[in-house]
Amino acid sequence: MAVGKEEVEEIVKPRTDKREYRRIVLPNSLEILLISDPDTDKCAASMDVNVGAFSDPDGLEGLAHFLEHMLFYASEKYPLEDSYSKYITEHGGRTNAYTDSEHTNYYFDVNSDGFEEGLDRFAQFFIKPLMSAEATMREIKAVDSENQKNLLSDAWRMNQLQKHLSAADHPYHKFSTGNWETLEVRPKAKGLDTRDELIKFYEQYYSANVMHLVIYGKENLDKIQATVEDKFKDIRNIDRNCLHFDGEPCTSEHLQILVKTVPIKEGHKLRLVWPIAPEIHHYKEGPCRYLSHLIGHEAEGSLFAVLKALGWATGLSAGESDSTLVFSFFRVDMDLTDAGHEHMQDIVGLLFKYISLLQQSGVCEWIFDELSAVCETKFHYQDKMQPINYVVSISTNMQRYPPRDWLVRSSLPCNFSPDTIQVVLNKLSPDNVRIFWESKKFEGHTNMTEPWYGTAYSVEKISGSLIQEWIVSSPNENLHLPAHNVFIPTDLSLKNNHEKANCPVLLRKSPCSTLWYKPDTMFFTPKAYVKIDFTCPHASESPETEVLTNMFTQLLMDYLNEYAYYAQVAELFYGITHTDRGFQVTLVGYNHKLRILLETVVEKIASFKVKADRFAVIKEMLIKGYQNLKFQQPYEQAMNYSALILQDHTCPWTEELEALPHLQVEDLAKFVPWMLSRAFVECYTAGNLEKNEAESMIQHIEDVFFKGSNHISRTLFPSQHLTNRVVKLEKGKSYFYSVEGLNPSDENSALVHYIQVHQDDFMLNVKLQLFALVAKQPAFHQLRSVEQLGYITVLLQRNDSGIRGVQFVIQSTAKDPAHIDLRVEEFLKGFESKLYDMPSDEFKSNVNALIDMKLEKHKNLREEAGFYWREISDGTLKFDRKESEIAALRQLTQQELIDFFNEHIKVGAPQKRSLSVRVYGNSHSSEYATHTNSPVQPCCVKIDDIFSFRRSQPLYGSFKGSHVKL
């Protein structure tokens, strides 16, 4: 029998939350939070184990992470390798895990009918896992492949450098991921067997009393409790103490330092870090939240607004990082322009001036109260999230907070304590700062190398008095505290909406616009979602116009930032983005002040003027952004090439980069009126809005752009309505495109093997989806777990504007892309017999899993809007897609799935259309040279030039084009 039920105060939950919660503690001391949600479609679980990379033995770096990988394989009760993942996938679920400094978290979700057995399989990780010798060697390679993926990531490199420059005897200093060297080469040299050490580590640290479990189920709490007690009672409790690593990671020699470091990507970054006491001990006072709110503020008078006006920074964030129960850091990160890089000392001086301003102003109660009010509204009206994300977010914090606050955590600062905030503020001084300064300009001017990632850096000591000189010599700018926030909503009432539409309705249609409206019939929160899509044919006429449209949207966001930042603080978000047909405005958040923000955005678009100083900054930022695309992961490059081959009217980023340096202020000034001169507006509105409010919004937009003697826009000519066209690959042909990776330093190669099947059709859709569901886990197991081709190995569905297919995406240092392509085909040959031999009950189980996945309700307004907007933007307009596809699934027979496979997927099938994009990394450059000159096999077509190929191919008809006629 469980102990401890209801022994604590009631768990605080949002006012709008109808779920039930219960804390229990099993006799083995496993502490559990049970969540009952009768409305859920998915059930989920997350187990947080209070041991992580800090506990890695010296010389076996990455052991905790490696153990996380190994637990997935098999257990005594379920000895078939990978059967856990197979079970979860076949029941519509996902599973994953991650290793942190002091925690390892395992989690999964699954359709509700598969939850009980899923839990049983999951529990066996912690009861009697099997860690076979064969799996050990394979998974060391997987850990190494994961590390290879991270080697050229600036985020991983800078994080490790920060750790490297700390006390060598503190666990913070460690390399946490592990690789072939730390898990195979070094242990072997010392006569250690990694598998023995792995088992020893598990035996030593995995104990029920340092685990926290969250269970999210559909049944009532008593039923869930009975299931959980049965499944998890056998986890052993060796009464381990919770691990705490005392001492500060940074001694005096690691403070007052300036670290110059060379990144992989273009751009300059500045990071200031101070050791502080962890906020967790004062989470109701929220000192870091208060300070990050002010230091990271972007409105007029803020540090960022001043740096932006000087043309020195394009981004700034502030807050607590790397927090444990014993130590923590406060961090300020800035993205600098070229001019900002030259003024690093002034920027540091201005930051300390702003900190000084906070000292002089004292801790302001009205700012704390405002922040507290925003946090309270956010907590009580929070969107429901996917159960899998919810359980992880709670379990990771159960160790740190009392049960009453497991859901609240640090999200509700409510105790105003100036002294507590002042203690942290006092820590942000020149005397204990660490400054990390990244720039390619330091290439050749560093004298040290970080051992794990090979990052070049140098360190110099900087005294408090030197920083004092920087403060004195920095510009005298008008830094001041933010104003009162006018965007904080005060009307949170729900509209008396009598509309009961279950899908969007076309509320209004004119030559200028269409208006789609979806009342909130599910979420009942005081929030709205508005999407305004401007189709402007002139925006996509050439690489130059693509770039100019992008610059226009970036400048709009830039101009709006100081005003609209207040809206973002108050949880009313907006975005203006460049699309392949023009640009898009999205607003989402509390509906009370949404109209005010919308009118401001519309006015800014209509009265757009180019400011030369901001143009220069945005142009510089865009050039670096384009240049950095060559540092994308090779699999991302392969995805980009496949989109370029398949999607009509797309241009490569290399052409846009070529066009960009020649564009000047006057080019944009001339272009924007020309772009807006012909436009069509498609608008989607949803949530806590009434019909008349939605109609009033689109009327306002039409009045601003299309009405009056000086109208900005005219309606489109019939020939100008843009369409979505996709290349129709020829039946019976296998196309391939080979290219060298863009970054010569990247050892990784990648393959995208795409099989094009059909244009949107309910019955074909479900056959494709069912194939993908059935093949996903076997593909991962064979190609990743058994053959160890690469850490990134996935089988995905693909949908290009209604053209459906599947694709294998694999990134590897082990094998070249042509070899991987052959392995994919071998997998498909082997999979054929699995499909033929599948028992009928397994087929039915897979069909039911897919039906359950389709029955899954949207969790929040954003998710629902994303689904419906996809139908509108693709032009498919099948708002009843889920119901229609479920009906098709119920009709589907096993023989029909086999026939579908034989016709469209099977290797050598006469109807099959496939495209392989092969990106060769540095480790396979010799194979690239060989394969480029090899003779082409029959039925294979080599693509030499993407655009010649695209121009020569037939295209699928566009759904979008068939709906534009008014």
Query: Quick one: pLDDT at residue 872?
Result: 95
Is residue 396 domain-resident?
no
Residue spans of the chain under pLDDT 50: 1-7, 963-966
Query: Quick one: pLDDT at residue 961?
Result: 65
**125 and 274, same domain (yes or no):** no
Grouping H, G, I as helix, E, B as strand and the rest as coil, residue 496 is coil
Count of domains for the chain: 4
Q: Which of 175, 205, 233 is the last residue of a domain?
A: 233
**793 and 894, same domain (yes or no):** yes
Element (H, E) at 35: strand 31-36
* Residue-number span of the structural domain to which 684 is assigned: 505-715
Nearest to 606 by CA among 711, 717, 680, 716: 711
What is the C-alpha separation between 258 and 269, in angstroms, rounded? 13
pLDDT digits (tens, 9 = 90+) for 507-559: 999 999 999 999 999 999 999 999 999 999 999 999 999 999 999 999 999 99
How far is C-alpha 322 from the geometric centre of its chain's CA atoms? 19
**582 and 665, same domain (yes or no):** yes
N-terminal to C-terminal alpha carbon distance within the chain: 68
**339 and 377, same domain (yes or no):** yes
What is the C-alpha separation between 907 and 42, in angstroms, rounded? 35
Query: Quick one: pLDDT at residue 938?
Result: 85
**227 and 260, same domain (yes or no):** no
CATH number for the domain harbouring residue 356: 3.30.830.10
**805 and 707, same domain (yes or no):** no
Which one from 31, 61, 102, 139 is the annotated catalytic residue? 139
Strand order in the sheet with 733-740: 793-800, 803-812, 749-759, 913-920, 733-740, 940-942
Element (H, E) at 528: strand 527-535
Query: Quick one: pLDDT at residue 7?
Result: 46
Element (H, E) at 820: helix 817-837
**662 and 710, same domain (yes or no):** yes
Is residue 644 domain-resident?
yes
**696 and 733, same domain (yes or no):** no
Q: Which of 715, 748, 765 is the last residue of a domain?
A: 715
Tell me the C-alpha to C-alpha distance, in Å, between residue 177 and each of 149, 392, 402, 532, 792. Answer: 11, 20, 31, 44, 16
pLDDT digits (tens, 9 = 90+) for 608-648: 999 999 999 999 999 999 999 999 999 999 999 999 999 99
Is residue 245 domain-resident?
no
What is the C-alpha separation between 402 and 390, in angstroms, rounded? 18
Our CA dihedral for 443, 449, 450, 456, rounded to 10 degrees, sits at 0
Is residue 493 domain-resident?
no
- CB-based burial label for 409 (10 Å; 0-12, 13-18, 19+): middle
Indicate if 883 belongs to the active site. no
Q: What is the DSSP letter of 383?
A: P
**754 and 891, same domain (yes or no):** yes
What is the C-alpha separation between 382 and 385, in angstroms, rounded? 9
**848 and 875, same domain (yes or no):** yes
**102 and 149, same domain (yes or no):** yes
Query: Quick one: pLDDT at residue 962?
Result: 54
Indicate if 139 belongs to the active site. yes
Is residue 297 domain-resident?
yes
Is residue 42 domain-resident?
yes
**443 and 541, same domain (yes or no):** no
Q: Tokens at residue 484, please?
A: 């009162």
Q: How many CB atoms lie within 10 A of CB 160?
A: 21
Q: Which of 658, 687, 715 is the last residue of a domain?
A: 715
What is the C-alpha separation between 225 and 23, in angstroms, rounded? 10
Answer yes or no: are the C-beta atoms of 792 and 741 closer than 8 Å.
Answer: no
What is the C-alpha separation between 817 and 825, in angstroms, rounded? 12
Which one from 61, 68, 102, 450 is the annotated catalytic residue? 68
Our CA dihedral for 591, 595, 597, 599, rounded to 10 degrees, sits at 160
Element (H, E) at 812: strand 803-812
pLDDT digits (tens, 9 = 90+) for 152-168: 999 999 999 999 999 99
Is residue 12 domain-resident?
no
Q: Tokens at residue 951, please?
A: 């121009």
Element (H, E) at 674: helix 665-676
Is residue 721 domain-resident?
no
